[in-house]
Amino acid sequence: MKRVIFTALLATVGLMAAEGVAATEDGAVLYAKKCAICHGANADKTPIKNMKPIAGMKAQKLASTLKFYQDDDRIGHGYSQEMVNTTTFLSQRAIDAIATYVSTLK
């Protein structure tokens, strides 16, 4: 019985790890398509002055910021409308994948 539980636990952890890797890979593809033009291939560029690069930012912070733009709550400077347009059709899974990917960049 212990062996069955242990095997099931290992399989669950393995699936979770594989899902995390897939999210990062999907995030890389989505980032390249949606974000790199303004933020750079390694998220080390900034589209406006006095903005910190987003590379290495915490995933939760990135995801919540993308959600604010998606909900059209961050209009205020010239580039905000571009962020609203870019995030409008992203699913929450896509937002999370992009945020996870960018958080791994240095």
Superfamily of domain 2-103: Cytochrome c-like domain (1.10.760.10)
What is the C-alpha to C-alpha distance for residues 30 and 14, in angstroms, rounded to an integer?
Answer: 24
What is the C-alpha to C-alpha distance for residues 91 and 70, in angstroms, rounded to an integer?
Answer: 10
Question: What residue segments make up the domains of the chain, in order of their start?
Answer: 2-103
Q: Using one digit for the tens of pLDDT, what is the confidence trace for 39-79?
A: 999 999 998 888 899 999 999 999 999 998 888 776 655 56
Angle 13-64-17 from CA coordinates, rounded to 5°: 10
**pTM across the whole model:** 0.73
Q: Using one digit for the tens of pLDDT, what is the confidence trace for 5-35?
A: 544 444 444 444 444 445 556 999 999 999 9
